[in-house]
Amino acid sequence: HLHLHFEGAMRHSTLAELCEKYQIPLPAMLSSGTMQPDEKYTDFAQFKDMYFAAIEALRCKEDLERLVNEVVEDASRDGVRWLELHFYAAFEPYKK
């Protein structure tokens, strides 16, 4: 992965846990059970829905630390040797 959206790389299971923790509605594709944990997005709308839900679910430093650890772990497991993460810098948790 040369270019990876940090928030968009969140595991579906992590997104589901954080949505439950913060009482955020799950994106439709997760709440309907139609998207499997390792399934790829079929169009940009799916990615966008999951991406914005992930942004909303990241509320504190611990959430960000968890995401960093999981993204790096997943990339390593996939054989990635160089990872350039791109993130939404204007998002409030990144300013703290």
Helices (H), 5-60: 12-22, 28-31, 44-57
CA distance to 10, 39, 57, per residue, from 95 (Å): 20, 32, 16
Residues 6+ apart with CB under 8 A from 58: 7, 18, 64, 67, 91, 93
Q: Of residues 69 and 5, which shows the higher confidence score?
A: 69
Residue 65 structure tokens = 């630390």
pTM to 2 decimals? Answer: 0.81
Span 36-46, average pLDDT = 74
Which of residues 93 and 40 earns the better pLDDT score?
40
- Average pLDDT for residues 65-88, to the nearest whole number? 88
